Amino acid sequence: MRRDVFQAIADPTRREIINLLAHKELNLNEVAGQFNISRPAISKHIKILTECGLVVITQTGRERYCKAEVNKLKEVYDWVAHYSNFWDKKLNALASFLETEKKQKRK
């Protein structure tokens, strides 16, 4: 099953895994060691992150290393940017309205 990026970031543990791996490539045990949940639970989170392309796993000997593919988060950034622009316009309009009201009350 191919999951999307939004499913991946919906969970706080997966967001933290992405954050960890964005700074450093880690093996699965090192990732699991950062959390107070079971290794199988971490493996499930890693699987979801891999399915949506946010994590790539490479095998080096017996170790499996995880690396974040943060460029995949651009889809989320683009979606949020659309709403950010919308709210910026609304808040700027509100600020302008409030400033006009404030000036009128001074008169």
One CATH from 3.50.50.60, 3.40.50.2020, 1.10.10.10, 2.70.210.12 for 5-70:
1.10.10.10
pLDDT at 104: 87
Q: How far apart are CA 82 and CA 51, in angstroms?
A: 26
Domain regions of the chain by residue span: 5-70, 73-106
**What does pTM read for this prediction?**
0.76
In this structure, what are the phi and psi dihedrals at residue 51, rounded to the nearest 5 degrees? -60, -30
Structure tokens belonging to residue 106: 């001074």
Q: State pLDDT tens for residues 19-50.
A: 999 999 999 999 999 999 999 999 999 999 99
Only one residue has tokens 């990732």, namely: 31
Q: What is the pLDDT of residues 57-80, one digit of tens each?
A: 999 999 999 999 999 999 899 989
